[in-house]
Amino acid sequence: MAQFPALTFTEAGLQMLIQAQNGHTLKFTKGKLGSGGITDSDNILKFTDLKTPKMTLPVTNVDDSNKELLVLTFDTGNAALEEGFISRELGVFAQLDNGTETLYAYSNAGDNYDYMPNKDTPVSQSRLEVEIMCSTSANVQIVIDKSIVYTTREDVDEIIAEHNASDTAHSNRLYVSKTADKPAGMADTGMWVEIVE
């Protein structure tokens, strides 16, 4: 994976963040990878898209435990990629209310790029986690693509831990009862103990 430096706000991104602190909704929608290089004449603040976009990345997860610094997760793979490219640009896109999607923040890996081959050379899907500066006072939504089925061991461990910590994960499995018959509210696969007086 390319070594991307910290993302830089675009002018449009800053305006959306300000408006999201004043009654509007800022909605993060997707990421993109591209192959464009940066020149001395480029002004990232004015960017509204990547210079040479090549791949769209759906948002698959978000860590919003710190409202000042959201962590968006994108899954990358080349299963549908027709043409390989140098992966040098990274952009996070957002929209204000239901407006037009535009580039919120941008990063360019420069010479620390990676190459993404086309689908004829399959690569393992990988996760790209991106930290996005935000604000506790902003009204923010994240569009998460639930169709992505790529799951890591970390995902599975987290799901199991949440399940095991839940008070209702195995409800109605064990009863102490005054009857030898199965209590009505009990799960069919449960077990009960009869109290004999």
Cβ atoms of 96 and 16 within 8 Å: the answer is yes
Confidence of residue 146 (pLDDT cuts 50, 70, 90): confident
For residue 168, the SS3 value is coil
Secondary structure letter of residue 45 according to DSSP: G
User: pLDDT tens digits, residue range 16-67?
Assistant: 999 999 999 999 999 999 999 999 999 999 999 999 999 999 999 999 999 8
| pTM listed for this prediction | 0.75
The Cα 18–Cα 134 span in angstroms is: 10
119-151 core/surface letters (b: 16 or more CB in 10 A; e: else) = eeeeeeeeebebebbbeeebebebeeeeebeee
